[in-house]
Amino acid sequence: MSKSFNKFKRRVRAQAIAVSALLGVGVSVVSLAAVILAGKLGGNAVKPIFYVLAAVFAAALSLVLYLIFMPSDKRLARRLDSLYGLDEKVSTMVELRDDEGGFARLQREDADQRLGEKPIKSLKARQLVAGLLVFCISVGCIVGALIVPAKADGGESVIDEFDKQWIITAIGELITTVEGAYINDSLRGKVLTELNSLLDFVKSSDYLSEMKTKAISTVLGINAALVEANSAESLSVVFLESSDDAVKELAKALGELAGSGSKNALVALGESVAASGADDRDFTADEIDSYLAASGVHSGDTLYLLFKGLTAAIREGSDIEDEFSKAATALNAEVIVQNVNRSTMRIVINKLCNLFGITEDDLTAVDPDTDIDLRDPETPPPPVPPGGEEPDKNIGSGGLGTGDVIYGSNDLVFDPDTNTHRPLGEILGDYFAKANEKITDGKASEELSDAAEEYFGSLFDGAPKND
């Protein structure tokens, strides 16, 4: 076959491939868009198999269309004769391509020369415009199908991807907060398990209602872990039943999670027990043992073991005041940790509730016995009505507050670890951890230990302030 004819044939083949691909892909994409749209309107997610089928259909249809649009040599020859007015020279050349006679060879050379003089750009693909149009329509259809919000069975729209990623980021930040907080290790592990489970669920879900249901379960799980970890509050409830005023004072301090208050109350109780008779001491030991059993606090808990050790010391009757004094230091440190437990979990729970729009009614609908304060700890208190208590005032880098209670503020203080100034609320736990390590290891003097305990006790929420 002549070189000129083959050149035109390659041009036509390229055009046929382009048209076939545009039409094949276009029709397949339009079909896929229809399936996606139907699925969204019906509240059903499109399964991945449909995308695979769409690709297979596009390839098969493109092949079929190529076989249709790619003309035979005779059809192409007639088209070229008609387009360039060659009086069937090309058709004759194709017809005589296997004839080796002298006349046939001369005819092919003449036809090849005439065809080679014609501009190949004049050979237009008549179906190319239709292919481009179908492809453009298909792109519009698939984009429209993808952006149309899906409807669940109850009419709920699929959550926007941006909103979903924002929720994922927020949960990740809570996980980081818990990982770095100075809280009980057992509580940390349980809360991280709850948060990571919620994070995995959010990543796999497309509906906010499903996420909210899971988040409610997470909030209740975190609160249950906090109740278990904060044994001081559980012990406070049973200790309040005592007829001994010293035990009641200890119960009140434990209920407020006041570190220095608990320490002072325990020292006072030790002095009272030491000054009492043997029968009274045995009665106090038996009473504390009964309260420990009734509290529901597990036997491996730090405070459970602390009070068990004290009842043993009471029954032995020797060095009672010294044993209570030593236990008071450990009690102070543990109560402050439990105060941090409560403060940190309040932040986590409130942020989860704000993130998913969870209300107290939502929580009690699942667990009628739950009692969770959903007030945001970072929200400023409301204005105080006439005759009410004075609102908190900034009292310097130490904290905020008035009257008998102060707590850590966000005033900037110097952080030697980073050589920068940071909000006190961010590093208060780190400061306490370092000080508590020195105190419990006996590396700080008694005077310095007392000062540190009083300072940190006053900065945690609910701790009494010594004027």
pLDDT in tens, 40-67: 776 666 778 888 999 999 999 999 998 8
Most confident of the following: 25-39, 79-93, 230-244, 357-371: 230-244
Which of 239, 243, 315, 310 is closest to 270 using CA atoms? 310
- Helix, strand, coil distribution of the chain in percent, nearest 5: 70, 5, 25
Tell me: the pLDDT tens digits for 77-93? 888 888 888 888 888 88
* Residue 176 CB burial class (10 angstroms; 0-12, 13-18, ≥19): exposed
Q: Where is average pLDDT lowest: 32-36, 57-61, 127-131, 414-418?
A: 414-418
pLDDT of residue 219: 95
pLDDT of residue 250: 94
For tokens 């310097």, name the residue.
396
CB 222 within 8 A of CB 298: no
pLDDT band at 232; cut points 50, 70, 90: very high
Rounded Cα gap, residues 28 and 51, in angstroms? 10
Q: Could you tell me the CA-to-CA distances from 33 to 18, 45, 141, 155, 437 in Å, in that order?
A: 22, 13, 6, 21, 64
Q: Which bin fits 88, alpha (ψ -120 to 50), beta or left (φ > 0)?
A: left
Domain definitions of the chain by residue range = 3-147, 159-379, 380-467
pLDDT of residue 128: 82
Which of 212, 179, 184, 180 is closest to 198 using CA atoms? 212
Which of 185, 189, 455, 177 is closest to 332 using CA atoms? 455
Rg (CA), the chain: 41
pLDDT of residue 1: 57
The letter for the amino acid at 179 is E
- DSSP code, position 204: H
pLDDT of residue 330: 92
pLDDT for 343 beyond 70: yes
Rounded Cα gap, residues 24 and 15, in angstroms? 14
Which of 123, 122, 135, 121 is closest to 19 using CA atoms? 135
What pTM was computed for the model? 0.54
Share the mean pLDDT of the chain: 81
Return the percentage of the chain with pLDDT > 90, whole number.
40
pLDDT band at 463; cut points 50, 70, 90: very low
Q: What φ, ψ does residue 114 adopt, rounded to 5°? A: -60, -45
Rounded Cα gap, residues 76 and 85, in angstroms? 14
Averaged pLDDT, 25-51: 82
